[in-house]
Amino acid sequence: MGKYILKRLLWMIVIILGTSFIIFTILYFTPGDPAKMIAGGSATAAEVENLRHIMGLDQSYFEQLKNYFVDTFIHFDLGTSWVYNKPVIEEMLVRLPRTIIIGLSAMILNLIIGLLMGIFAATHEGKWQDSLTMGIAMIFISCPDFWVALMLILLFSAKLGILPAYGIGGPQYYIMPIICSALGGIAVNARQTRASMLGVFREDYITTARAKGQREKVVVFRHMLPNALMPIITSIGNGFARIVAGSAVIESVFSVPGIGLYLLTAINSRDYPVVRSCVLFFAVFTSLAMLAVDLVYAFVDPRIKAQYSSARKGAKKK
C-alpha cells in the first residue's frame, strides 16, 4: 500500500510540473503586452519598457521559465501580483476558505441528495417514481450554472428579497452559490447511483438476502449499496474537483471573492503570476482529490485489499 501511495505521489508531481510548464508557455506566447495593459494608455514607451524590466518580461523564454520554476518549486514563492502589488500567496490564503466552503458544502449536498435520489429511482425501477426522479436529474444536469445562478438571484433577491444577490458576509451569502454549485453534481450522482445499484440489483447474494427474510432497507443499504460504491466514489471525487476547479463562473456571478474570481480577474488584466498560481492550485487540488479517491478504493473494495496483501506476502517470500 505504501509503495502504491508513493507511486501516485510521484505521478502527481509529474502532473503538477507538466501543468506549470504548459500554463507558463501558453501565457508567454499569448499575443499582447501585459506591461502596456497594466501601465495604461497614457504611459510613455519608456515607462512601459521600465515596467517590462521590473516584471521580468524583457528576459528570454528560457530565463523566465527557469526563474518561475526555481521561485515556485524551490523557494515556494508564487510571486507578486502585477495589478495589486501584493504577494499572491497572501491573497490566495484569504480567498481560499470561501472557495472551499462553497465546494465542500456543495459536495455534501451532492453526496446526500444524489445518493438518495439514485437509490429511490433504482428501488422503483420502471415505475413513475423512477421516471420522475430521473426527469428531475435531467433538468438539473441540463441547466447551465450561470443561468441557474441568474434565476436564483431573480427569485430570492429581486422578487422575494430574502437572500443577498452578491458579495460575502454571513451564512446567508453562501446559500445561493452552494445551491447553484450543487445542482449539476446532484444529477450526476443520482444517475450514477441508479446505474450502479441496478448493476447489483439481481445478483445472487441479493436474492439470497431477500430469501432469508431481511427487510428491504437492510438489503439496500447493507448489501446493495456497499457493492455499488466503486463507480459512485469516482463520481464523487471527480465532482468535488470539478466544483472547486470550476468555481470561477459561480464566484463571478455572485461576486464571491474566492480563488475562481481571483483567477478570472487576473486573466482579464493579464496578471500572469496570479493566473499561474491559481491554475497550479487547481492542478494540486484535483490531483489530491483523485489520490483520495484511489485510497478510498483500497479501503472500500475487499478485492483491492486482497491484491495489496498478496503482493506484500509475495514480496516477503522472495
DSSP annotation string for 40-99: -TT--HHHHHHHHHHHTTTS-HHHHHHHHHHHHHTS----B-TTT-SBHHHHHHHHHHHH
Backbone angles phi, psi at 87, to 5 degrees: -60, 130
pLDDT given for residue 146 in this prediction: 83
Provide the grid cell at 95.
480567498
All three cell numbers of 122, joined, read 433504482
Residue 133 CA to residue 137 CA, distance in Å, equals 6
Amino acid 119: pLDDT: 86
Q: Distance (Å, rounded) from C-alpha 135 to C-alpha 120?
A: 13
pLDDT given at position 2:
67
Residue with cell 450514477: 192
Rg of the chain on CA atoms, in Å? 25
- The pLDDT of residue 21 is 93
Q: What confidence score (pLDDT) does residue 217 get? A: 77
pTM for the model stands at: 0.80
**How far apart (Å, rounded) are the C-alpha atoms in residues 111 and 190?**
9
- Please list the pLDDT of the chain residue by residue as tens digits (318 residues): 567 677 778 888 888 899 999 999 998 888 888 888 887 777 788 888 888 888 888 888 999 999 999 988 888 888 888 888 889 999 889 988 888 888 888 888 888 898 888 888 888 888 888 899 889 888 888 888 888 888 989 988 888 888 888 888 888 888 889 888 888 888 888 888 888 888 777 777 777 777 777 777 777 777 777 777 777 777 777 777 777 777 788 888 888 888 888 888 888 888 899 999 999 988 888 888 878 777 777 666 656 656 655 555 555 555
Q: Are the C-beta atoms of 250 and 221 separated by less than 8 Å?
A: no
Q: What is the pLDDT of residue 312?
A: 56
63-100 b/e (C-beta count within 10 Å ≥ 16 → b): ebbeebeeebeeeeebbbbbbbeeebeebbeebbebbe
